[in-house]
Amino acid sequence: MANPKTTHATSGFTLKNRYTFCLFLAMLTGCSEPTMQKLEGPAQGTTYHISYWSEAPVDAKAIKADVENEFAVIDKLLSNYRPDSTIETFNSVENTDSQDVGGEIVSLVKIAQVVHQASQGCYDLTIKPLFDLWGFRGDALTIPSDSAIVTTLKQIGMEKLEIVDDSHLRKKQADLKVDLSSIAQGYSVERISKVLAQKGISHYLVEIGGELKTNGYKPGLQPWRIAVERPLPDERTMHKIVTMPKDEPIAVMTSGTYRHYFDDHGQRYSHILDARSGRPVNHNLVSVTVLLGDPSVADAWSTALLCLGQKDGMAAANAAKIPALFIELQDNELIESRSDALNALNTLTLH
């Protein structure tokens, strides 16, 4: 994906020089500091928040309309809750013929294949029947029998999903179902970011349901600063602050067992399912935050690393050079660890 730089030559000035010049000119001509624009609303079963600013005048109403239209396009493409979406149309056709799903879905499957292999099968887009079996699509937990899990696992497997070409997929097993929710929000963040970039906006923060990407900086040359949530149920407090780089886009994607779960007779069941066992994960790792330029890749990896648990997740992150923050809950204490790539990342600070 293109990484537009936020400092470039314009009429003999870099953006930093232009901003300094504007401050000086303000004393003479009334030149004012650019104003931060904000958009927010419901989307994808959650909410979105966008902050942006531009040196040049922009049509805020047109940008809002384009953002809302983009959400509608994404929903029609990826939503597992819409029977008429592209992915649900693919799921509903139970045969092994090649199906046209478009380049966007194929590109996401390519990312997922890499992460699937790196996670030794823990991360798997074909896990949808297991979510349905456990009742995670509704409001009530259904604890399935061992035999039901074994039967359902026969429907699961990324190796049963074939990429035919850049726009076509084929099921090797007719009843295969694909769920893109583990990567769709990251993809949505990138699509909305591109809407802003196409309008000439290079300074923005795009957030959807807690997943986000920044580019550039705030007015006054101040960096974007992002709060990482404390990974405990029923708490909405700050745990870490990420000071984002000013000269490159970075996505911050967090997966946590504390966000979505069911309690049943004193036992907690996470919505994070291990595709190998067909059961919710039961380790002490409660949160993984991945910081990468590509939100789709970061989204998939955050889910995969959380699925793997602390030991195997850290090994996978280090092998793939993924910058990741791991948080475990041990005896009511939060224990942090960082991947090698995160320790080596000097373009941002995490404190």
Tens of pLDDT, residue by residue over 166-204, are 999 999 999 999 999 999 999 999 999 999 999 999 999
- Rg of the chain, C-alpha, whole Å: 22
Q: How far apart are the C-alpha atoms of 249 and 279, rounded to whole Å?
A: 36
Contact of 305 with 316, CB cutoff 8 Å: yes
Task: Report the pLDDT value the prediction gives residue 139, as an integer from 0 to 100.
Answer: 66
Task: Report the pLDDT value the prediction gives residue 286, as an integer from 0 to 100.
Answer: 92
Q: Length of the chain, please?
A: 351
CATH for 95-177, options being 1.20.1250.20, 1.10.3980.10, 3.30.70.600, 3.10.450.50: 1.10.3980.10
The percent of residues above 70 in pLDDT, for the chain, comes to: 84
Q: How far apart are the C-alpha atoms of 173 and 291, rounded to whole Å?
A: 35
Q: What is the mean pLDDT of residues 241-247?
A: 95
66: which residues sit within 8 A by CB, 6+ positions away? 195, 199
Q: How far apart are the C-alpha atoms of 285 and 313, rounded to whole Å?
A: 9
Alpha-carbon dihedral sign for residues 188, 194, 199, 205: positive
Alpha-carbon dihedral sign for residues 319, 320, 322, 325: negative
- Check residue 190 and report its DSSP letter: H
Q: How far apart are the C-alpha atoms of 270 and 285, rounded to whole Å?
A: 11
Q: How confident is the model at residue 314 (pLDDT cuts 50, 70, 90)?
A: very high
Token couple for 15: 């953006």
Tens of pLDDT, residue by residue over 43-69, are 999 999 999 999 899 999 999 999 999
Tens of pLDDT, residue by residue over 71-111, are 999 999 999 999 999 999 999 999 999 999 999 999 999 99
Task: Report the pLDDT value the prediction gives residue 184, as an integer from 0 to 100.
Answer: 96
Q: pTM score, two decimals?
A: 0.88
Q: pLDDT at residue 113 above 90? A: yes
Exposure pattern of 166-186 as b/e (b: 16+ CB <10 Å)?
Answer: ebbbbbeeeebbbbbbbbbbb
Tens of pLDDT, residue by residue over 147-160, are 999 999 999 999 99
Least confident of 147-161, 213-227, 235-249, 279-293: 235-249
